[in-house]
Structure 1
Amino acid sequence: MNSIIVIVILYLAAMIFIGFLYRNKASKDGENFLVADRSMGPRLGGGALASTYASTSSFLGTLGAMYAFGVAFGLWQNAGVIIGFALATIFIAPKFRSYGALSFSQFFEMRYNKKVRFVSAIVTIVAMFVYILAQLQGGAYAVQYVLGIDYWIGVLVIGAVFITYVVMGGSHSSIMASFIQFIMMAVSMITVAIVVLNAEPWGSSTAQALQNKPLVFDLKGEEGLLYAISCFIMMTLGAMSAPYVYLMYMFSKSNKSAQTTSALATTYLSIFYFVLLIVGVYIIANFPNLDNPDMGYFHTLDLLPTIVAGIFVAAVLAAAMSSTDAMLLNATSAITNDIYSIIAGKHLSSDVVVFVNRIVAVIIGVIAVLVTLNPPDLILLVMALAQSLMIGAFLVPLVLGLWWEKATSQGALAGMIGGFAVTVIAQIVPMPTPFIGGPLGAITSLILMVIISMRDSQNKVGYDSQTINQSQ
């Protein structure tokens, strides 16, 4: 136990040290603090982007979901992420990067107007805040389960560390930390998969898993086909809607680099999720009575030497922090770069911009830590809420803004607000699955945006025709 504690402490200290190393770069100006001076290469970026997405919702949450709902459910979920990333790689990454925005929401002003940017910033803050809760929760569970310390201490420690290195090193430290964190996650999960296959043949694991849960491999999952497909759709659309994904594109050196970064992240995640399934089957086969499905991963660590287990416990903390840092930067940027500039009518001056960003990051991080002290439900369900909010608000205005010239500001504003509202209502009103709110919001957003944009386009044509006739 002492060895595990030492390793965890060393990992946390290393993350703070990364922030210390990049403090001077981050202090130069707002562009360095928020988007790493657009200097990120694809190799570093691919790992960082994969790490940002493969958070505790994947590391622990997917294993917990497979345990609760069946392995096939995990397949649907993981396939959705891969397809979503592939679509973003081909159709969105290079076009989005070409706008050169300093924040995700700034794109919406460049393409539409300030009103759309303002609404986008508000939704970004809400969605990122909810996402941070899920990551902190997963990391604190890890510390609580393995080290035997109170949950609230885990929340405070993890929160203090990721806030510290983000505040010091900004986006520069976030990229490097996320890259290292993905290596830790990938190595740990691949090693655990090899160990469990060596401990128990694959055939024996699958047979025992079927005995424990007869529907474990059923394509419909234990909750039915609608439950599984709705999760698949949500994950696909979520990968195409997430501000923290586009943050990585903004870090990239060029449009081509952004596309390569996304392609590499897709490849890395494909391998990671495949290995995850092996571990999931072993957990179902050998631990049929878990009180908390999200903690199944830690039961496999008993097969490892103590020092190795300590490294893999640190990998769970890495999964939590790899997403929280990017989300904290997104939320901070939404306040300092978007909301402030719209309300004040000007940007922060160069001599205070980094200082203000750091103060805002601390405030958001502290509030998130305080809220997480009262833990929510399954990590996957908390993640689903954040995904749904982003899908309902962002997907349609983003995609149509990039690919449909007739998309108008009024249409985008109505689509963003309407999609977000329907998604929120879907979280309150009983639904067949918890994953349907985002897709319903996106459908609403699409209908509103197309109708209003077409109306605006026709009015413009009519106005132009009238002007021409009058001039004649």
Structure 2
Amino acid sequence: MQTHSNIRWGLLLVLLTPAFIIAAPSISGDVEKQPLNYTAIGMFLTFVAITLGITYWAAKRTRTTKQFYTAGGGITGFQNGLAIAGDYMSAASFLGISGLVFATGYDGLIYSIGFLVGWPVIMFMIAEQLRNLGKFTFADVTSYRFGQTQIRTMAAISSLIVVAFYLIAQMVGAGKLIQLLFGLEYWIAVFIVGILMMVYVIFGGMTATTWVQIIKAVLLLSGATFMAGAALYAFGFSPEEMFRQAVETHPKAAAIMSPGSLVKDPINAISLGLALMFGTAGLPHILMRFFTVPDAKEARKSVFYATGFIGYFYILTFIIGFAAIVLLSQHPEFFKAGALADGAVIKDQLVKGLDGGTNMVAIRLAEALGGNLFLGFISAVAFATILAVVSGLTLAGASAISHDLYASVIARGRSNETTELRVSKIATFGLGLVAIGLGIAFESQNVAFMVGLAFAIAASANFPVLVASIFWSKMTTRGAMIGGFVGLISAVVLTILSKAVWGDVLGHKILDAAGKEVSVGLITLDNPAIISIPLAFLFIWLFSVFDRSERAKIDRAAYDAQRVRCETGIGAEGSASH
């Protein structure tokens, strides 16, 4: 009874929070102060209330670790496919990619295609094996036949870093959205997102997260379909006419129809492509979703449905981005005062002068096409989707701390479910505070680009260890641990040294030939995957082949038993560790 009372008070507090926010005076920030859009705010609060109601419903059905981490394993393949799509179609997908296409044109496709092509890797290589070997986290798979302490520690650390980078993008997107709707200062908006995220995970667990993601996936696909259709209607349903007018309107002119605006050299293009392709198979919050289905067959169905939904959605974001170039230029009220001349948008200010930045392109287009009502719908759905994504990320991070580090490494399997759940909820609170801090620090970054960095780390640290542990019989604990840490450290260090972090975030700048300050990095590589992924595989191979320890003999001898379980699923309902 005490638990249910706490749930009621917690949800009541969060439901009342937006009311205090609306009553508070607007504070000018990066987004210029505008009159409150009460239609949009009303729909926004309605969606938040509905999703919190789902969380309350789920909270009463979440009592065990299996229910908290994996919704009891009772989600069907179709439901899980929709939930994965709802998880994946996040701030980076909806806000970030449409903003990239708006700003750079053709090159925005590299993110759309990159995010999508990772799914066949999961479907054909690891979905079935993952479900058969794992229990709660992907570390259950990577540590199946290896030393638990070393591998789980490495997997948990890499998962937490990936979660942290991925959270940045979601927090930035959601913070900008709340800032735009409520006229709040950015940091306050990010704080609100963090509080709601904690409530979702602490009270509802995976059951709440799954059903919220399913509902939001349906709503977001419906809204994006209507938006793309309405945008094409403005051009007589002629993509050719849309592209022609976009070229005439955009400050880069014909350059937006060819590569080179965003990724300027082949090495960076290949590196980004590798990160996006293989990073999907290393994202802990996505891999965790395969444990919510009852068997390997449903896991394969999950990827099949998710690939279809996500592929369709990315086509829509491409239309939205190009149509916005033309249609937003016809709405000077969406631009800052400095971007206007005689009431019209200055061509050179089309990208830089948009109020709220390029991350708000899709939201502004919704207002242009459907007025306050459609703006409210799209804003609410976009924000609700982000909430579900950050909830999934936080749940993955909390499970890495409670299940992999606490239960398996610190307590060495002697903890009970009550204690493990308590550790998960404490970890959720801590991760929420970290997410708020990172969201504020990375305010100026494009959200799709920040997710690209998270993908690079996942592709470098998690993917090589996961694939090698499943398919290579000679891999050892030493090889997995050293190779995983080398991939992780090299990806993080190279990311910090890149212009995006070293220059844009840490503030290292130089004067160019025109005397203007520009950000610089210590390396010219924007994405580290082309170096860090091969390094991880190299060190896994090197330290496994030359490992002659007694532990190595045990690791190799256990491969045949692991292979049987991988292919047949025999014993998959039990614990994945020995």
TM-score by length of 1: 0.92
What CA distance in whole angstroms lies between the structure 1 residues aligned with 2:315 and 2:166?
24
Alignment of 1:16-27 (within 5 A): 16-27=52-63
Deviations 1:370-417 (A, max 9, x none): 442332522123212222221111111111111111121111111101
Answer with 237-246 or 285-294: which moved more. 285-294
User: 1:266 and 1:283, CA in 2 relative to 1: closer, same or farther beyond 3 A?
Assistant: same
Matched, 1:422 2:458: no
Contact 1:384 1:434 in 2 (8 A): no
User: 1:433 and 1:62, CA in 2 relative to 1: closer, same or farther beyond 3 A?
Assistant: farther
Secondary structure of 1:281 counterpart: helix
User: 1:218 and 1:364, CA in 2 relative to 1: closer, same or farther beyond 3 A?
Assistant: same
Amino acid at match of 1:188: G
Task: Decide which of 241, 257, 265 is 2:282's aligned counterpart.
Answer: 241
Q: Measure how far apart 1:166 and its partner are.
A: 1.6
What CA distance in whole angstroms lies between the structure 2 residues aligned with 1:434 and 1:63?
21
Contact 1:57 1:379 in 2 (8 A): yes
What CA distance in whole angstroms lies between the structure 2 residues aligned with 1:100 and 1:237?
20
Matched, 1:359 2:421: no
User: 1:381 and 1:79, CA in 2 relative to 1: closer, same or farther beyond 3 A?
Assistant: closer
The corresponding residue for 2:263 is 223
What CA distance in whole angstroms lies between the structure 1 residues aligned with 2:428 and 2:262?
41
Amino acid at match of 1:168: F
Answer with 317-326 or 17-26: which moved more. 317-326
User: 1:79 and 1:223, CA in 2 relative to 1: closer, same or farther beyond 3 A?
Assistant: closer
Q: Measure how far apart 1:198 and its partner are.
A: 1.2
User: 1:219 and 1:290, CA in 2 relative to 1: closer, same or farther beyond 3 A?
Assistant: closer
What CA distance in whole angstroms lies between the structure 2 residues aligned with 1:60 and 1:150?
20
Q: Measure how far apart 1:311 and its partner are.
A: 0.8
Answer with 289-298 or 396-405: which moved more. 289-298
The corresponding residue for 2:140 is 106
Answer with 147-156 or 409-418: which moved more. 147-156
Structure 1 unmatched runs, 5+: 465-472
User: 1:230 and 1:217, CA in 2 relative to 1: closer, same or farther beyond 3 A?
Assistant: farther
Amino acid at match of 2:534: I
Task: Decide which of 360, 363, 367 is 1:298's aligned counterpart.
Answer: 363
Contact 2:280 2:458 in 1 (8 A): no
Alignment of 1:62-77 (within 5 A): 62-71=97-106, 73-77=107-111
Richer in helix (by share)? 1
What CA distance in whole angstroms lies between the structure 2 residues aligned with 1:331 and 1:306?
37
Matched, 1:312 2:312: no
Deviations 1:50-76 (A, max 9, x none): 1111210111111222233332x2222
Matched, 1:434 2:526: yes
The corresponding residue for 1:398 is 466
Structure showing greater Rg: 2
Secondary structure of 2:215 counterpart: helix
Q: Measure how far apart 1:124 and its partner are.
A: 0.9
Matched, 1:208 2:208: no
What CA distance in whole angstroms lies between the structure 2 residues aligned with 1:33 and 1:222?
41
Q: Measure how far apart 1:81 and its partner are.
A: 2.1
Contact 1:64 1:296 in 2 (8 A): yes
Q: Measure how far apart 1:14 and its partner are.
A: 1.2
What CA distance in whole angstroms lies between the structure 1 residues aligned with 2:58 and 2:541?
45
User: 1:372 and 1:347, CA in 2 relative to 1: closer, same or farther beyond 3 A?
Assistant: farther
Contact 2:406 2:420 in 1 (8 A): no
The corresponding residue for 1:350 is 417
Secondary structure of 1:70 counterpart: helix
Answer with 110-119 or 265-274: which moved more. 110-119
The corresponding residue for 1:470 is none
Task: Decide which of 540, 547, 569 is 1:456's aligned counterpart.
Answer: 547
Task: Decide which of 286, 291, 302 is 1:250's aligned counterpart.
Answer: 291
Answer with 183-192 or 424-433: which moved more. 424-433
The corresponding residue for 2:333 is none
Amino acid at match of 1:392: S
Contact 1:48 1:178 in 2 (8 A): yes
TM-score by length of 2: 0.76
Amino acid at match of 2:422: F
Runs of 4 or more consecutive aligned structure 1 residues displaced over 4 Å after TM superposition: 457-461
Task: Decide which of 102, 121, 125 is 2:160's aligned counterpart.
Answer: 125
What CA distance in whole angstroms lies between the structure 2 residues aligned with 1:170 and 1:15?
13
What CA distance in whole angstroms lies between the structure 1 residues aligned with 2:496 and 2:168?
19
Q: Measure how far apart 1:274 and its partner are.
A: 0.6
Contact 1:77 1:228 in 2 (8 A): no
Deviations 1:339-392 (A, max 9, x none): 112023234313333233223212221332244233252212321222222111
Matched, 1:446 2:527: no
Structure 2 unmatched runs, 5+: 1-36, 330-346, 498-521, 557-578
Secondary structure of 2:133 counterpart: coil
Q: Measure how far apart 1:338 and its partner are.
A: 1.0
Secondary structure of 1:351 counterpart: helix
What CA distance in whole angstroms lies between the structure 1 residues aligned with 2:421 and 2:495?
37
The corresponding residue for 1:467 is none
Amino acid at match of 1:284: I
What CA distance in whole angstroms lies between the structure 1 residues aligned with 2:532 and 2:419?
38
Secondary structure of 2:144 counterpart: helix
Q: Measure how far apart 1:457 and its partner are.
A: 6.9
Answer with 230-239 or 326-335: which moved more. 230-239
Q: Measure how far apart 1:307 and its partner are.
A: 1.8
Contact 1:5 1:310 in 2 (8 A): yes
Amino acid at match of 2:257: F
User: 1:265 and 1:455, CA in 2 relative to 1: closer, same or farther beyond 3 A?
Assistant: same
Q: Measure how far apart 1:196 and its partner are.
A: 0.8
User: 1:257 and 1:277, CA in 2 relative to 1: closer, same or farther beyond 3 A?
Assistant: same
Amino acid at match of 1:82: L
Q: Measure how far apart 1:232 and its partner are.
A: 2.3
Matched, 1:116 2:151: yes
Contact 2:100 2:321 in 1 (8 A): no
What CA distance in whole angstroms lies between the structure 1 residues aligned with 2:217 and 2:51?
13
User: How large is the RMSD of aligned CA atoms in angstroms?
Assistant: 2.1
User: 1:458 and 1:359, CA in 2 relative to 1: closer, same or farther beyond 3 A?
Assistant: closer
What CA distance in whole angstroms lies between the structure 1 residues aligned with 2:428 and 2:137?
15
Alignment of 1:14-53 (within 5 A): 14-27=50-63, 29-53=64-88
Q: Measure how far apart 1:7 and its partner are.
A: 0.6
Contact 2:197 2:387 in 1 (8 A): yes
What CA distance in whole angstroms lies between the structure 1 residues aligned with 2:187 and 2:414?
38
Amino acid at match of 2:203: M
Contact 2:151 2:477 in 1 (8 A): yes
